[in-house]
Chain A
Amino acid sequence: MSGTDLVITGLGLVLPCGDGIETARASLASGAPCFADLPEALGLGRGAACAAFNPVGTIPPMQLRRLDRPSRFAWVAAHQAFADAGLDPKAMGERIAVAVGSLTGGSEASEAFMRPYLQRGPEGASPLVFPNCVANAASGHLALAYGLKGPSATIVDRENATFAALEQAARWLRLGLAEVALVIGTDGLFPLLLDLCRGARMLARHGDPEVGSGRGFLPGEGAQAFLLESRDHAASRGVRPRAGLRALASSSSFEDTVPGRSQALARAVAALGGGSPERRVGGANGLARLDALEGGLAEAHPEWPGAIHPKRLWGEFGGSGGQLLAAALLEPSDLTLVTAPASSGSQFAALLEGVNLDRS
């Protein structure tokens, strides 16, 4: 899918470095990783937690108690994105679609629900926790919070779920099923996830993750919200886009091998239709197989600028990949290439044009 008809007009960020665009921009510019020992409530070991996240004042207290971590992140990020885009969602809720990418959406609640059930039987089961066990809980909470009534999808395609959500949102806009789409990537840390990642030997055990080291990643969490609309629709609202979505492409391999996936990633990049990127954002995370995909791509394109790797600073969110898109929107550029490798499933690539920080 390609074309410059779609633009990103709103951005909202909840990241381990803190909330908001300016905080994220400063974090990216500093190049300093955000990893630290995790609070015990989230799990043992090191990671990039959203330690300073404070939704009070944005999420009403009654709702706050009912939400799981990914939904809280998504709510606040969406709030920022609507404000950034100057759009009142309540005024056009039926024409706003929501597409969410997540790996951990629902999982934190599943652990919170099952732990007491397994220990105490049915008496331990909480009807207040169970509704959050579904991955699409966040989209339901967002719908309630902002009066959103358009199409909704929650997509769980490993590291690239947010790219898949962006692709779905673009399709709905082009089909005319919505006028605006809220695209969200959201993931939250919880003990069982850390335990599973450690058991599967995916985590970096010494120091911060290094791209190309093959020593593994460190987990992160947060939410990224992107408001997508047609260029004409944005113009009619008098809103200057943050960037144009020049092209977005995915490709996959039926072989679960590094060469197969590398070829798929290369196909996705080729499908973008060319252009000389001025800036490049990559999805390598320190895990050997992900780094290899991107390493091969860089070798084949020596003319490209060196990539920045946001996962090295903010962590691997597992299912979202939205941190790559966020990073792509934080520095001005005529053409920014995002390469998003995944450990399986679809490989994505995107071209953003006219990334513009000046919204005045």
Chain B
Amino acid sequence: MNRRQFVQLSGMGAAFLSSRLAQGKIVSAEDLLMPGMDGSAKKHLADTALNAAKSKGATYADVRIGRYLRQYFFTKEMRVENIVNSESYGLGIRVIANGTWGFCATNDLSLDSIAKCAATAVAIAKANAEMQEEPVILAPQKGVGIQTWKTPITKNAFAIPVKDKIDLLMKVNGEAIKNGATFVNSNLFFINEQKYFASTDGSYIDQDVHRMWPTFTVTAVDKKAGKFKTRDALSAPIGMGYEYLDGLASEKMSILGKPTVYRFSYDMVEDAILAAQQAKEKLSAKTVVAGKYDMILDPSNLGLTIHESVGHPLELDRVLGYEANLAGTSFATMEKWESKTFEYGSKIVNFVADKTQPNTMAAVGYDDEGVPCKNWDLIKDGILVNYQATRDQVHILGEKESQGCSFADSWDSIQFQRMPNVSLQSGKEKYSVGDMIRDTEKGIYILGRGSSSIDQQRYNFQFSGQLFYEIKNGEIVGMLDNAAYQSNSQEFWNSCVKICDKDDYRLFGTLFDGKGQPGQSSAVSHGCSTSRFNGVNVINTGRKI
């Protein structure tokens, strides 16, 4: 594709630009492929910032030089509504002075501006020190010198011609309509974070992070009956390149002839065809009878439940009260962890935090405090054994080094504790989804992400889904509608009786997990295999107005 074709297609979207989504300067698609500043130039700017901060009295300083590239596609039926190409570039400096954090950011990368920004960060720290009850205690982190890291992709999504992406979405929409959808919206989201980190510890780390998410919603309307139903894509937001859209048959699974699910390669067109057919089927689905059911939850559904009922409650900043005014605190309090006996789940429940797992969205080489990434147990044989923490928190856990959970969503945002990939470990014995359905007498099999809500300490939750299949005596007997499951996080994970093996392991995730004031979003993946939870309360959400 030549420059003019790029401009043509990117300009079409820019005309409908949503500044909230763009989060940066609008650029042509080809600008997204331009190389950023080279490493030596970044090091020069970073050293300027670090030296300026130290000269003003900082006892510690780190600097992040970020280039954030985004390309988003929005379509409706056979129209391209919007394409957003954006670039955001600048530098953020964080310091400790008088035992208190200070921060300043600028998009002016002149040496004078950087020095001024560093001085401002130190001044803010000193001003806020008056209200500081305890000084910041930072876990030691040996400098790692000059390092680079890149998401292992095989196809850079930004190098794929815009026209090819539009052709794909038009095919998705066309096939959905051909197969019974009344309306269809489809989207592609591509993100590339080029992040340079340096600190007074002696680290200079250049990272190139790629993430993507293809998705859609089809709607089937029955005007005569006054009803409409939707079905969202069963894709996963993922830490991969454009190769995720190759649609490899080897990564596809059909469950007892009913739904089709995808592992590390997604067939968007096929899923849209199935979605259209299933949305129509939902219009005449049987309304669920409220009561207790054995729930079989596909990773495309269970992933969100993991995120809300395990990922968030084990964030140490929440446990300590730093998020109390917005996101809330946590039921997984320190004394429960200290007891070493708190039964978070049944004995088969094992959760691992892992920022090194391939294809996941929180995978990086180093976090935004320069800490090398790793993995560790959160829940072992059902017992709560650890949290997620940053350099200034980890001493509270009696640990000598950070767990590497610091992240900022932009160069002008302050890094703070964000969730790593939090994943449920697969069952050790060979056990398929088909086996699980055959072993269930009265159950509901749920796929896809639906409505979700959980309280501010992460006890009481209610989740819905995209597809609900009724199971009677080991067989899928039909589709259900208006179902949502309610539980308490601890009760729910203690009702986990069976987990399929690693052959069924798939990823779920979110590109836009919100937290903090001012709000920031982060991307994270949750892996698991299909799991069964016995005796869960199901409610009927059907109402009339």
Task: Tell me if chain B binds chain A.
Answer: no
Report which B residues bind A (CB closer than 8 A): none
